[in-house]
Amino acid sequence: MSKLVAPHGGKGLVICKLEGAARDAELKKAAGLKKIEISSQVKGDLIMLGIGGFSPLNGFMTKADWKGVCADFLLADGTFWPVPVMLDASKAEADAIKVGDEIALERKGEVFATMKITEKFAMTEDEKKWECEKVYKGHGEESKDEVFFEKAMKDHPGVQMVMARKDFCLAGPVKVLSEGEFPTKFKGVYLTPAETRAVFDQRGWANVAALQLRNPMHRSHEILAKIAIDVCDGVLIHSLIGNLKPGDIPADVRIECIDALIKGYFVPENILNAGYPLDMRYAGPREALLHATFRQNYGVNRMIIGRDHAGVGDFYTLFEAQTIFDTIPTPAAPGKALLCQPLKIDWTFYCFKCDGMASLRHCPHGKEDRVVLSGTKLRHALSNNQEVVDHFGREEVLVILRKYYASLTEKVEVKLQSHAEGSKM
């Protein structure tokens, strides 16, 4: 019997994808249905619904769910849920659809799902703004009342995505027909909740931690995973393999870095390197809760929450993604509360006086003793093939990143060259 935490919501894994003949038939039917063009974010959400990553959700949220989630972290039925999962539609699309209809959800010509419409509702600018205030606003400098919305429209990709949603929403259960590029592009890394659970069960794990990653794994991340391995049965390194903001390092490069790190510096039986198909929302504390919620479905009961988890810019204070776990509602009804607990760890770094990795909770030394490197300086060093300061990253990882940045430079040079050649003509 599995010793893992039960999926969130008390209904087991709610898997909305169809396979084999059922999928073939549904695809055929979809060809004759009215179509909605979905965003990249919706595509990621759909695939999570498909593989049971968003259990107990079986489709997109109703207005009551949306309101409860934004205001109180609760679905209309009283189940904990931290972030809206919405399907938006334009006025034209919505006008052509009535409750009870089945529709097809497409992106760039590919059918991702069919959906039975149970509710159709308008979402005004003010309502979207309210959602942003509730879900995306934190306690950092850029979240101050007088500047939040203006700053967010400029610098917060999550808020921009909410505000870019079309003016209507459609709710209802989905039948997912495609997992997009993930199963082929990330073969062996893109694992469903059922698959990660099978690995954990096979290894006899009961207490599993997850490390959320959207960056290559440097030593400050490595130590988080190692602390988790020391106090749990094992750790899931779980990278976002959907979309990030421009300039971030692509998922395949990040996954290669993590593989190299595991090969050189971990006992493989105690770690699993996997990815999940969502786009980043950058919702900081709320997204930390989402990370814990869907990790529970993957079989994880301890979600590592470090410094500025899922943050962007200066919208959140450094540790509000940790403290929010102490304030969320814990519904008493069976299955309705979040069971995946945070594993809160302070800022980590190499310290010369400590002679190893340390955290702010135990290192008493000063800034001058610590190896701290800004992302900007790191990118500069890697792009220019310069040495990265000792003890910051593992050489095996830095080699991969140098190669990646060199390829970017080559692309730019090729572009500039062809541009130059073009202008000669």
Q: Strand 370-371: give its sheet, edge to edge.
A: 356-359, 348-351, 370-371
- Closest distance of CB 356 from a second copy, Å: 3
Tally the C-alpha atoms within 13 A of residue 143's C-alpha that lie toward its C-beta: 21
- DSSP category for residue 96: T
Q: List the catalytic residue out of 23, 107, 214, 379.
A: 214
273 classed as catalytic: no
Which amino acid would we find at residue 166?
A: K
- Closest distance of CB 253 from a second copy, Å: 23
Instruction: Rank residues 170 and 272 by Cβ distance to a second copy and give the closer one.
Output: 272
Q: Which residue from 234, 236, 233 is spatially nearest to 297, judged by alpha carbons?
A: 236
**Which positions touch a second copy (CB under 8 A)?**
225-227, 229-231, 264-268, 270-271, 343-346, 350, 353-364, 391
Q: List the catalytic residue out of 107, 215, 307, 402.
A: 215
- Closest distance of CB 3 from a second copy, Å: 11
Give the whole-angstrom CA distance, residue 87 versus residue 45.
9
Instruction: Rank residues 144 and 353 by Cβ distance to a second copy and give the closer one.
Output: 353
107 classed as catalytic: no
For the residues of 276-311, what is the DSSP string, one character each? Answer: E-PPP---THHHHHHHHHHHHHTT-SEEEE-TTTT-
Q: Which residue from 259, 156, 280, 265 is spatially nearest to 214, judged by alpha carbons?
A: 280
- Closest distance of CB 130 from a second copy, Å: 34
- Closest distance of CB 224 from a second copy, Å: 9
| Element housing 121 (H / E) | strand 119-122
Query: What positions carry a catalytic annotation?
Result: 214-215
